[in-house]
Structure formats: C-alpha cells, structure tokens
Amino acid sequence: MTKDEVLASLPKLSKADLQAVITVAGSLIGRPINDPTGVSGNEATLASQIGFNALAATLGQHSTLAMLPATQRQKFERNLIPLTKFLDTTFAMPRWDKNRIIKLAVLQYMFNLLASELHRMKVTVSFNSMIVNMGRIPVAFDTQFPGYRAAGVSTLVLHTICGFDIHGAKASKGLPSRARVHARKHGLDDKKI
C-alpha cells in the first residue's frame, strides 16, 4: 500500500480506528504508546525538545533529545510531566509557558537550581543525574526561595527570571534584554516570538 492509498483510506475509518493509527504512527516516531501528556504528538515533542534544550544549555552541552538513548529519553519525557505540573501550579498567573523563550528561560533556571542542589549534595552533575533527579526541582526551588510558594509570591521569581513584567508590558525594542540574550544564545529569533 502506498502513502497516497493510506491517506485516501483515512477518512473512511472510524474514530477508534483513527486513534489506533495515531497510536501506532506515534510509536513509530518514538512517542510513548500511552502518552500521558494529553497533548498532541507535535506539542509533546516540542515541549520535550524545549525542556531538553534547557537541560543541555544548563550543562553547557550541544545535544538534542534525539541523541539520547531511548530509555533515557523516555525517562526524561516522563519526568518532564510532573515538572511542568509543578511550574503550572507555581506560576499559574502569569503563565510561565506563555511563549517558547520564556519557557526555555524558566526551565533552564529550574535546571540550574537542580544543578546547584546536586552540587550541594556532592552528586556529579550529568545528563543522567539531572534526568533522574528532576523530581527534586520543587525541593531545590523551596530551598532557594523558602516560603515563596506558601505566601503566593512565586511570580516574583518568574519576573526575575524573565527580567520583565510578563503580564503584557512591552519592552521598548522586542523582548527585554535578558530574554533577548537568551534567545540569541539558543538560536531563536526574538523578533518573531
């Protein structure tokens, strides 16, 4: 069966059959079969890649998520889910994932907190140790900013990470300098985001 024949037959399939096709196709490109993220494959892949870019930047490595062994990549993607839930509750308003540059900056900051925590614990900081200990990021956050979450002022940390008011205030030229520098460092076009 050719690709065109497969594509032509898709509209004739039931919803259950289409879901089965999506699951199989996703597993062929490396997405877990029971993807617990609840987002589409492209969104999940983009979120995982942004998270991994932040981790690689924290470690000063030039690597991609696809370069990780499959088991380590799956562990990273599994551990990213509770991390994003933590960030969603910690930085509920304003949204920490408002755009890719802010998301990258926040995740890199969180990975830096984790690296500091691991250094303090005398653990060698590597891709593996960071991936295995991603669940410690809330502890590292609370160690660095004691009482902020309980007092409901964790958004101050978000403003500090981003270097500007993300409620909607505009910087004079594109993004504010800290976010602009971060964007250029990671090869992103700060004017388009």
**Closest alpha carbon to 51 in 175, 43, 154:** 43
Specify if 93 maps to a domain: yes
Q: What is the mean pLDDT of residues 74-89?
A: 91
**179: buried, middle or exposed (CB in 10 Å: 19+, 13-18, 0-12)?**
buried
Tokens of 38: 């609840």
Bin 84: left if φ > 0, else alpha if -120 < ψ < 50, else beta. Answer: alpha
Asked whether residue 44 falls in the same domain as residue 137, the answer is yes
Instruction: Look up tokens 């890649």; give the residue.
Output: 49
Q: With 70 as the cut, is the pLDDT of residue 56 above it?
A: yes
Asked whether residue 17 falls in the same domain as residue 71, the answer is no
Asked whether residue 3 falls in the same domain as residue 46, the answer is no
Q: With 60 as the cut, is the pLDDT of residue 35 above it?
A: no
Q: In terms of residue numbers, what domain contains 17?
A: 1-30
Asked whether residue 16 falls in the same domain as residue 50, the answer is no
Bin 158: left if φ > 0, else alpha if -120 < ψ < 50, else beta. Answer: alpha
Asked whether residue 77 falls in the same domain as residue 167, the answer is yes
Residues 6+ apart with CB under 8 A from 121: none
Contact 122, 98 (CB under 8 A): no
Mean of pLDDT over the chain: 77
Tokens of 150: 């309980």
In which element (H, E) is residue 132 found?
Answer: helix 127-132
Q: With 90 as the cut, is the pLDDT of residue 26 above it?
A: no
Q: pTM of this prediction?
A: 0.64
Q: With 60 as the cut, is the pLDDT of residue 23 above it?
A: yes
Q: Which residue has the higher pLDDT, 85 or 189?
A: 85
Share of the chain above pLDDT 70, in %: 72
Q: With 50 as the cut, is the pLDDT of residue 170 above it?
A: no
Asked whether residue 2 falls in the same domain as residue 42, the answer is no
102-115: per-residue pLDDT in tens? 888 899 999 999 99
Please report the pLDDT score of residue 19 as a whole number: 72
Asked whether residue 84 falls in the same domain as residue 164, the answer is yes
How many domains does the chain fold into? 2
Q: How confident is the model at residue 38 (pLDDT cuts 50, 70, 90)?
A: very low
